[in-house]
Structure 1
């Protein structure tokens, strides 16, 4: 058997997230069905770097699978894409050591969130950006986002329903970019809690509206209570941008 590491992009709009769920369309299910066809009916399973929720997109989700086939690694994307729907695409694949694990070996992840900050909706971006027409104090948001960098207990930025006990994470990078009529939130860290990025974005938008101050972010982190932070931004503006592994 050989282990393959693959990178997949997907438009999450019409999916109920990455992970398989009975009676729902998921990215994992589509990928595994494609693998089963390539293996001519043999059962196939994949392990991803982590889950993405309903409507969340991915530029570079990583997963691994085991195979007895000897397809050249550069031909795996074509072999799988021929059986995948148009909103899922394998962009790369490579043979790796048999002990490689897409989830446990990941050392960093980067997420990006796109906000359309305009007076009118754009129907062509409605499923890929969060439309936010309200006035925002961008410089205050940029001050606030700096407080997120570092190692903290991020309980205030974790949604209910998780079974994770350790809420400490390290955020290496947190910044806000203005790109034409969009605001991009960028977060890179060693891992993220359930809905953590979306709650951080929602909180920073409240800073931009003047509902919260930039200086309140350390207090929100210190509170370790979900109620201290802002609303959860919707999933369709979020992208899993990159997953990093040690060489």
Structure 2
């Protein structure tokens, strides 16, 4: 069992019951209070460790792909998005094209400024895909330490901020995290997950812009602990990725 202490957070029971009812690959909740939750232990290795130690095999990625396929199979109507908070999903209809344009409008990254017209045009090119893609249940923190690859299946842990949204956002984030570890998500993942969402490439690019402009990343990078060193590696990797992608425009 695993005991998680989260003082001041809403009880996890409703969220956990929803995940269990929809057969999401998440640890079972055994007990919960307002300040803590007791979960079933998920045996296995973190995907983070397997990548860093060069032990991630095709079987590893096939298992991970299966877990995300099961998660993203929980579908919602097109353009319906929102987060899980206070025991319920707060969902609303949005225009994903407008949301992407807004993301670019608020960026202050100097290296992006000269490319904004082409980036806005790219969003318009993806407009039909953005608006016609059914949304799905998303984990929304797919850092590879939250992906436990067990002997029989993969479990996603740390369900602190599940959302409903475009699956391409989550796959783009997974690809970005793996890229920042010096690897890439291989075909074996998609052999079990299914086709790469058509919006993934766009979300990968705009997501990198959003991450680099985030205040929290600058705050982490200023930290003198291990977290600060990790944030600096992320910033460096995102800068290199973004520079390469912008050069293609």
What is the TM-score when the length of structure 1 is the normalising length? 0.24
Higher strand share: 1
Higher helix share: 2
Structure number with bigger Rg: 1
Structure with the larger RCO, 1 or 2 (CA within 8 Å, 6+ apart): 1
